[in-house]
Structure 1
C-alpha cells in the first residue's frame, strides 16, 4: 500500500473499545499527545485533574478538571499534558455501533452529579473489559451505549454554542481536515490554500487567530509527528520514511526533522 494514500495515522492497533489513563497516552513521549494528529476511531477525553490547552480541528481552547472533549475519527487534535493532568481517554473502536456525535464537542461539566454519572459509567466499562464473567463483552457494550446517551444529553443541555465558529474558524477546520487527508502528498501551504480557495496569507492569518500558530506550523507538526511515529514503531529506513511523507529528499527530511526535534532521525530512533 502506498503510505501517501493512507487517510489518517494508524494510532489504534485494535478495533476494540478500551480505556486508557491520559498520562499513559504520553508514556512514549509528550509529542504523542501534544503534536497534531488524528485517530482512526472516535475518542472521548475526560479530564479529572489539571489544566492545559487543547487544539481540536484547528481551534485552541483551555481545559480544566471536569471537561469532557469528544473527538470524532479523523479530526486532527493535540493537547498539553503536564505532570498534574489526570483523566481517562475512551477509545470507541473502529466498528463502534454506538450512536455518537458527528462533530467535536467541548463540554464543561459543572454539576457534581453529572460528573459522577460519567465516572460510574467509565468504572463499569473498565470492570467489564477485564472481567472473565460470561457476556462481559456485551455488558461493556451496553455501558458504552449509556456513555453515548450521556454525551447526547450533555450536548443537548449545553445548547447551541454561544461562540459558534465564524468564517475564519470554519476555514481552519476545513484546512485541518484536508491536511489530515493529504499531509503525505508533499503539498505546501500554498497548495493547501489553493485547494481551499483562499490565499496562503489569509489561511495563515486565520490559523493564527484560531490556534495561535501559522498554517505551516500545523503542517510541519503533523508531518514530524508521523515521522517520529514511524521511526519509533517501525524499522523502515529513513529514506523510505522521507519519501512516504512527501519530502523531496532524505537530506531535506533530516534537516526539517532535526530543526523541530533537536536531533537527527537516526539519533531519535536510537533513543527508542
Structure 2
C-alpha cells in the first residue's frame, strides 16, 4: 500500500459543519464506509451507536468503525472535531465502537495537540509534510489504543439485549434497501418481532421499526439532495413497493413531500 497516497482521503471536520446541510445529516441513523473519530470539546447530547444510546459530554472521544450504524444530537452549543480516516487508513485502528470519557486533563490536551498537528501538516506545503502527517496520525492511533486499555477495567460487557440490537443494526445497514420489514429482520435473527422491538426499546428507547424508518429516510434525503434521480427511482432503490407509498412515508417522517424537500434544498 502507498501510505502517503492513502492519506489523501484523511479529513478533519468541525462537528458543527457536519450538520450544515441539515441536522438530519448527523441525527438520522446511517453508517460510513470509513472509520470515524468524534472528539467533543464542548456541549452535550445523546449518541446512538449500533442501536445503543448513551449521553456524551465535553471530552468524550467516540470511535466508530466503518459500517456501524449511528446518529447523534448536535445542538448549537456542541463543538469538536470529526476525523474521517479514509477507506485505506495505514494506521491500526480499533475494530469495535468505543466511547471514551477522557477525565485526565493531560490526555485531552494530548489529543488536541495531535489533532492540531495533523491539521497543520495536512494544509502545509513544506517538505515532507505528508510523512509528518502520517507520523502524527500514527500517534493518534497510539493515543486511542492507550485510552481504550486504560478504560477497559470500567467497560461493561453488553448484555444480551444490546448484543441482539447490535446484530440487528448491522444487518439493517446491509439490507435496508431490500424492502425487508421488521418481521423479516427478526426472522433472520432468530427472534420474534416483539422481542426485537423490546430489546431496541431497552437499548435506545426506540422500537425496531423506528431505526429501520430512520435509516431509509436518511438515505432518501441524501439521494434527493445529492442526486437528480427521479422520486420513483429513489423509491424503488430503497425497496418501497410504489412511489406513492414512499411519498407518504417520507412526508410522515419529515413533514415534507420528497419533491418539496428537494426544492427546499
User: Do the two structures share a fold, i.e. TM-score over 0.5?
Assistant: yes
Instruction: Return structure 1 stretches of 4+ with deviation > 4 angstroms.
Output: none
Question: Which residue in 2 is equivalent to 1:25?
Answer: 18
Contact kept, 8 Å, 1:207 with 1:213, in 2: the verdict is yes
Q: 1:248 aligns with which of 230, 241, 247?
A: 241
Residue 5 of structure 1 corresponds to none
* 1:142 partnered with 2:132: no
Q: Secondary structure at the match of 2:100?
A: strand
The answer to whether the Cα contact below 8 Å between 1:205 and 1:214 also exists between their aligned partners in 2 is yes
| Structure 2 residue 197 is matched with structure 1 residue 204 | yes
Q: Which runs of 5+ in 2 are unaligned?
A: 1-6
Give the Å deviation of 1:160.
3.9
SS in 2 for 1:159: helix
Which of residues 88, 93, 97 is equivalent to 1:100? Answer: 93
| Cα separation, 2, equivalents of 1:40 and 1:61 | 23
Structure 2 distance, partners of 1:257, 1:15, is 36
CA deviations 1:37-60 (Å, max 9, x no partner) are 000000000000000000000000
Aligned length: 259
1:240-264 Cα distance to aligned partner (Å, 9 max, x none):
0000000000000000000000010
**Counterpart-to-counterpart distance in 2, 1:134 and 1:27:** 34
Partner of 2:28: 35
Unaligned runs of 5+ in 1: 1-13
Q: Of 13, 23, 43, which aligns to 1:50?
A: 43
**Pairing of 1:114-263 with structure 2 (within 5 A):** 114-263=107-256
Aligned residue for 1:53, secondary structure, equals strand
Aligned-residue offset at 1:139: 1.3
For residues 57 and 223 of structure 2, the distance between their equivalents in structure 1, rounded to whole angstroms, comes to 32
Q: Which sits farther off after the overlay, 139-148 or 233-242?
A: 139-148
How many Å apart are 1:134 and its aligned residue?
A: 1.8
Q: Is the 8 A contact 1:15 1:95 kept in 2?
A: no
With structure 2 as the length reference, what TM-score do the two structures score?
Answer: 0.96
| Match status 1:77 vs 2:74 | no
- Distance in 1 (CA, whole Å) between partners of 2:157 and 2:31 is 23
* Deviation for aligned residue 1:91: 0.5
1: CA distance between counterparts of 2:54 and 2:129? 37
SS of the residue corresponding to residue 198 of structure 1 reads coil
